[in-house]
Amino acid sequence: MKVTDYSKIANKYEKNQYRLENVQYDNDLREYIDKNPKSVYQVLDLACGTGIYLDKQIKFFNNFNIDWNGLDASEEMLNKAKEKVENASIINGLAENMPYEDEKFDYISNNYAFHHFINKEQSLNEVYRVLKKNSVYKLYNIAIHDMKQWWVYHYFPTAYYEDLKRFWEKEVIFNGLSIRGFKVNIQIQYRLERIKLSDYIANAENRDISILTLINDQDYQDGLKKMRYELEINPDKTITNDFAEMICIAKKI
């Protein structure tokens, strides 16, 4: 499995507006708080990247007593996070070997990152270890097996085959968490739509999407050339695009 070098894309990571717009109020965290009254909550954003989730949730939940934590493997991404995130403990580390004591956290968010973990089995062991009983692990990611017509795969077809090496199917995630002692609920949010190619060309040119950094340069340039050519012929070009997101809520029992 190839690994994304985030040191090369940290400076342009947030130029993709989708990343900023997609992070909304974490209703699952609020539900956990409402059902589990405590004097203070320990929350970890696992693979926190540039701190987009932390930055927004700290503002959303400013009336709650929460100790916010962020962990990421990339020092460059963490440097970006520390520029904007206040009142959080942000440290460098691996999901496979978290530098936290047993049963520290009430809630762990893990957004768009599980596919990057080299040893996913050990990462789940660690998630279980650092969570308190009756606490929640929320894994949020794209579901590539349900979105073969995604625009990225349409123009960069080798990307799909690379992603198959990185992404677990939902059944594997469900079983992996269940056998460790989690009560698991997985939902897939799917949409099929027509999109304007002009709305996505900038994201391709920015090459900040992790999978585009893993395909070879020739495949990348061929796909980009095709996008540009089709837009030159028809600036209003549209294509069929499907997109699926997985929301996995796992409660440690």
Q: What's the pLDDT tens digit per position in 132-158?
A: 999 999 999 999 999 999 999 999 999
Mean pLDDT (whole number) for 11-21: 60
The conformation of residue 208, written as its DSSP 8-state character, comes to: -
Mean pLDDT (whole number) for 7-28: 70
Question: What are the angstrom distances between the C-alpha of 142 and each of 112, 186, 187, 192?
Answer: 7, 12, 11, 14
Rounded to whole angstroms, how far apart are CA atoms 68 and 106?
Answer: 11
The answer to whether the CB of 177 falls within 8 A of the CB of 124 is yes
The answer to whether the CB of 252 falls within 8 A of the CB of 181 is yes
Domain ranges of the chain: 6-252
Query: Tokens at residue 46, please?
Result: 């696992």
- Identify the pLDDT of residue 197: 98
Query: Tokens at residue 106, please?
Result: 């009430």
Task: Average the pLDDT over each of 2-6, 132-136, 164-168, 193-197 and give the range with the smallest value.
Answer: 2-6
User: In the chain, pLDDT over 90 holds for what percent of residues?
Assistant: 89
The correct answer on CATH 3.40.50.150 for the domain covering 6-252 is yes
- Identify the pLDDT of residue 24: 87
Q: With a cut of 70, say whether residue 12 has pLDDT above it.
A: no
Mean pLDDT (whole number) for 194-222: 95
Query: Which residue shows structure tokens 């968490």?
Result: 177
Query: How many other C-beta atoms lie within 10 A of the C-beta of residue 163?
Result: 21
- CA-angle at 104, arms to 99 and 110, nearest 5°: 70
- Identify the pLDDT of residue 17: 60
